[in-house]
Structure 1
Amino acid sequence: MLRRLDLTAAGTADLRRVLPRAKVDVRAAVESVAPLVDAVAARGYAAVREATLRFDGVDVEHPRVPAAALSAALDALDPAVRDALAESIRRAVIVHEAQRRDTVEVQVVPGGTVTERWVPVQRVGLYVPGGLAVYPSSVVMNVVPAQVAGVDSIAVFTPAQKEFGGAPHPTILAACALLGVDEVYAVGGAQAVALAAYGDAAEGVEPVDVITGPGNIYVAAAKRLVRGVVGIDSEAGPTEIAVLADDTADAEHVAADLISQAEHDTMAASVLVTDSPALADAVDAEVERQVALTKHTERVTTALTGEQSAIVLVNDLEQGLAVVDAYAAEHLEVITADARARAERVRNAGCIFVGPHAPVSLGDYCAGSNHVLPTGCTARHASGLSVQAFLKGVHLVEYSAEALAEVAPHVLALAEAEDLPAHGTAVAVRTARA
């Protein structure tokens, strides 16, 4: 089912070009989304309401979900799902609390200090996607780091569902209620990003400072358009998994993991990198067997047979490490002998799952790590969502008269070198009286 890509005779120079990747044209999506974003900026929720009717097939008069609906959703939640969400939250809090940054005060010279304070942004908009699946786990992954960071105001945006009379999915609402989030808007897609960025005073929607959360290509395009008006976490693309495995890996496990990501979307990428042709053959056979048994057979088959998915054969695990570094997967599993040692050598991945007992699905729900991760090779320069996404570093500079006088000649020399004499004067007028 999965196509084969033989790199055993290839060098490393062109790996980025030859490795399988979903073709996603955010620039084209930007062109189609820009009029909608502009309309929301100009007309607020009226433009959002029109878009929701057009795209989601439901007319939502007012976007904010009533508090009673949140409480009712939590009361009606399956106890097993509630317990699972509570455990997911508990573990995520443990990990994210460890990410807090301490204030650091440095004495540069006697009488001169620089203090770095980490200050939470005031208000955030957290996007929780709908579409092919329901993602209460994304509520957890967005809300927990924002709450741990100390954000004052949290608003969740999630699509209106025709099935539920224009309200978001009740499991999403229940997850919000469980986390104590009471500001939830039944708005999805690009229009949600625009509404979060620009707000609507008449509907009581205050604009946010930062928008985070995954979504489809139109959500990514809208994020690109509002970047600068607000901060964003990333432009998320289709989900992806890479598995680096040798002949110690269990083919049944590997196949199940590849299928689990293909289940998300027809554009999802599932890539196995191995130096074992025998494992490749065994995984192929297992994929065929397991796909026939899975619920979303058609979706999974489309993803696994697409150009974005493949089994990549390499000479050895050294070349395999070069391949996965070039691929820079959102999720990377390392299932090899000495898995931890090899995983520590990987530079580019959103999250690395080490050994045979840490599948990506664990990270999606209950590992404690965050599942909002960089896609589309951006793990080369970007990180997953964390407390840091909601914090700003602010420096406090304090100098005594004596400390300023000591450094004044250097400031004056640099101001003169840059032909900015007024900069020097701002120091000179203080030191002249000292």
Structure 2
Amino acid sequence: MHKNEKESKEKGKGSFAFAWAMDESTEERERGVTMTVAVAYLETNKYRVVLLDSPGHKDFVPNMISGATQADAAILVVDASTGSFEAGMDGEGGKNVGQTKEHAQLIRSFGVEQLVVAVNKMDAVGYSKERFDFIKLQLGNFLRSCNFKDSAITWIPLSAVENQNLIKLPSDARLTSWYQGLCLLDAVDSLKLPSRDVSKPLILPICDVIKSQSTGQLAAFGKLESGAIRNGSKVLVLPCGQEATVKSIERDSNSCSIARAGDNVAVNLQGIEGSQLIPGGVLCHPDFPVTVANQMELKILVLDITIPILVGSQVEFHIHHVKEAARISKIIAVLDRTGKPSKSAPRFLKSKQNAVIQVVLDGEVCVQEFSKSRALGRAYLRSSGRTIAVGVVNRIIGQDQN
């Protein structure tokens, strides 16, 4: 931290010293924004926490999707300072959906139900209760519309730069006079563990391919979504379809012989070329291969869009850690509030509609029906730098040769 403080001051960015703990690349430090997903580990009184620091900037939403799809719970960091909170809600000049809104919609569609809202920079508004209540009212209404339950949201006012309400209860009288709740670290400990699919076959979506610290070889890094993996076991690497043997496993940068659903691991493999390991690939059990396909039926919710979605629309298709160019090949039906499909196929889709569509991807991706695997069955459609629809894979149609 001392090194970060010294170097950030030299660059005239003294207040960035804390951000640099996670933003380690030269480009991130030059630009002053998080671009990739940084991973850190910490131990609380109750949990061993894997922290995935996802970018907030609108240019890096695809990276944010890759990181946040692994999350069991989320901390949504909101800037309390005047104008900044409003920009996060309404975008620049009120023209777009702000990043706070887009991120909230996305994390809910990833299946994250537990949310801690960290209202930061309270020092900039004099620890005002009125400002905190205003943010809670405005953002709370929006979170409800995203199907977050009030009982699963914890609101924490804090100031990171003045170390108020982070790892211990606040000392500033301007905050203690009206806030008697948890500090941020205790809020993390109050989260409930989700159930883990340990008994199901192995599924490990590859988030990144990294150089192992201990062996120097390439390793597949990601979160075990289901099943378990142990040293010496055989795995099938998709989409290339090659079998490999697990040489070693690292969890939280420490070697281990076995890892289970819920663990973030780096897996070293024998018997496979490094070029066959790609982010967006999947390690699975050889007897239970994951489907590889480029044509599927999705059930989607259209977000706030200005241009309607038509048959033939070109979109970016995101699923777990992979992005692929795609087009809407068919709009099958619009669904009413009860989920009942319309009798005739609509010509286009507009904001807030639920629909069933077919998409054809330029390349093949590892995918499962949502009913079989939640991690490999959630999809996102983006266009012109914005998320236009979120959904689940209803049915895999297979390979399309077009």
User: Could you tell me the TM-score, scaled by structure 1's length?
Assistant: 0.24
Higher strand residue share: 2
Specify which structure has the higher proportion of helix. Answer: 1
- Bigger CA radius of gyration: 1
